[in-house]
């Protein structure tokens, strides 16, 4: 008795035809018929009634069909279990991250995964936040650390890392540094130092400005938080960052919450469901590295 014989039997029963069953399993009709006949001979009973226009089960066939389906399901489960384990022993995962976004916890997660599963090759690439999300949807990237404005990208599962408001960063000698409150209107005529279009923080700023009918003056653009801070310290403009981005530069800059910039900046890991076993393991390692967070 062979698995293919059981598969052919089930196909004939479900299609009620040897011809349709043959097309389904991609062999000749005579091949299906011969294998089912051989199964019947091994079992010592006719399993199919071939006398009518449609093939039907005999009483013995009805008893055999239940077990045939059980065996085939068990074989499929065994095959999947082996593939799952193999996926954690070898293969490749491609991870994307926002350009110039240094997140140590992501690197920790990648490192822990590599130590546990050295046979899975890891590739890390940089790109704009919007491009990364599209590449995840297209299956080019398995996982990406993305930045977005407000809500996470549609069609992807996400592990939120940070959701926070925008701040305006100015030197401590700047006239705004002593302000108790700050709005987008206060920044309308000032040169701003921002991330380029496509960055999550830039999208959050643009959306907030549109909501308040404010036309920002974008003087300088840079992808790295340290560059934004360096330019602001030199008095070249007001740097727009998230609260976490601004925190390493608090000695030289004052970070003022923009009260009416209501669209938050979101940093999250994103992947296309359902994740493969190796990717599930990588997400688990990253979750541990980032700490306890809640999946959206």
Question: Could you tell me the pLDDT band of residue 98, with boundaries at 50, 70 and 90?
Answer: confident
Alpha carbon dihedral 223, 263, 266, 205, in 10-degree steps, equals: 0
Residue 295 lies inside a defined structural domain of this protein: no
91/157: higher pLDDT:
157
Question: What are the tens digits of pLDDT across the range 259-272?
Answer: 999 999 888 899 99
Question: Could you tell me the pLDDT band of residue 88, with boundaries at 50, 70 and 90?
Answer: low
Q: What's the confidence (pLDDT) of residue 293?
A: 41
Q: Is the same domain home to 180 and 231?
A: yes
pTM of the model: 0.61
Q: Is the same domain home to 20 and 94?
A: no
Question: What are the tens digits of pLDDT across the range 188-226?
Answer: 999 999 999 888 899 999 999 999 999 999 999 998 889
Q: What's the confidence (pLDDT) of residue 167?
A: 96
Q: How many whole angstroms separate alpha carbon 200 and alpha carbon 148?
A: 4
Q: Name the domain count of the chain.
A: 3
The 8-class DSSP code of residue 18 comes to H
Helix (H, G, I), strand (E, B) or coil at 285: helix
224, two tokens: 């790295």
Question: Could you tell me the pLDDT band of residue 294, with boundaries at 50, 70 and 90?
Answer: very low
Q: Is the same domain home to 240 and 102?
A: no
Residue 131 lies inside a defined structural domain of this protein: yes
Distance of CA 82 to the CA centre of its chain: 24
Q: Is the same domain home to 157 and 271?
A: yes
- Helix (H) / strand (E) containing 167: strand 166-171
Radius of gyration of the chain (CA): 30
Q: Which whole number is the average pLDDT over 86-110?
A: 81
Q: Is the same domain home to 184 and 253?
A: yes
Return the closest-CA partner of residue 190 out of 177, 199, 201. Answer: 177
Is the distance from CB of 229 to CB of 250 less than 8 angstroms? Answer: no
Q: What's the confidence (pLDDT) of residue 89?
A: 63
Q: How many CB atoms lie within 10 A of CB 97?
A: 24
Cβ-Cβ contacts under 8 Å for 264 (sequence gap 6 or more) = 149, 150, 163, 164, 165, 166, 204
Q: Is the same domain home to 47 and 22?
A: yes
CATH at residue 17: 1.10.10.10
Give, in order, the Cα–Cα distances in Å from 46 to each of 6, 11, 32, 140: 14, 16, 15, 51
CATH at residue 234: 3.40.190.10
Final residue of a domain: which of 87, 111, 143?
Answer: 87
Q: How many whole angstroms separate alpha carbon 23 and alpha carbon 28?
A: 8
Residue 296 lies inside a defined structural domain of this protein: no
Q: Which domain holds residue 244?
A: 166-263
144, two tokens: 């990406």
């Amino acid at each position: 008795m062979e698995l293919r014989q059981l598969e052919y039997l089930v196909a004939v029963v479900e299609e009620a035809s040897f011809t349709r069953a043959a097309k389904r399993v991609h062999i000749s009709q005579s091949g299906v018929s011969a294998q089912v006949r051989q199964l019947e001979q091994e079992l010592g009973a006719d399993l199919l009634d071939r006398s009518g226009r449609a093939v039907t089960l005999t009483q013995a066939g009805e008893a055999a069909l239940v077990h045939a389906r059980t065996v085939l399901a068990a074989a499929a489960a065994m095959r999947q279990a082996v593939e799952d384990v193999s996926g954690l022993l070898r293969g490749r995962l491609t991870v994307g991250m926002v350009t110039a976004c240094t997140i140590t916890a992501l690197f920790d997660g990648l490192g822990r995964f590599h130590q546990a599963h050295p046979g899975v090759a890891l590739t890390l690439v940089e790109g704009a936040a919007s491009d990364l999300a599209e590449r995840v949807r297209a299956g080019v990237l398995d996982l990406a650390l993305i930045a977005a404005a407000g809500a996470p990208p549609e069609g992807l599962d996400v592990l939120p890392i940070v959701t926070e408001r925008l701040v305006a960063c100015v030197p401590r000698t700047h006239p705004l540094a002593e302000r108790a409150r700050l709005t987008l209107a206060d920044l309308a005529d000032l040169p701003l130092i921002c991330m380029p279009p496509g960055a999550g923080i830039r999208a959050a700023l643009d959306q907030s400005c549109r909501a308040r009918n404010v036309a920002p003056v974008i003087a300088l653009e840079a992808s790295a938080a340290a560059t934004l801070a360096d330019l602001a310290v030199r008095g070249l403009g007001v740097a727009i960052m998230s609260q976490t981005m601004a925190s390493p530069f608090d000695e030289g800059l004052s970070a003022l919450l923009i009260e009416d910039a209501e669209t938050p900046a979101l940093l999250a890991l994103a992947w296309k469901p359902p994740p493969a076993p190796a990717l599930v393991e990588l997400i688990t390692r990253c979750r541990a590295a980032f700490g306890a967070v809640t999946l959206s």
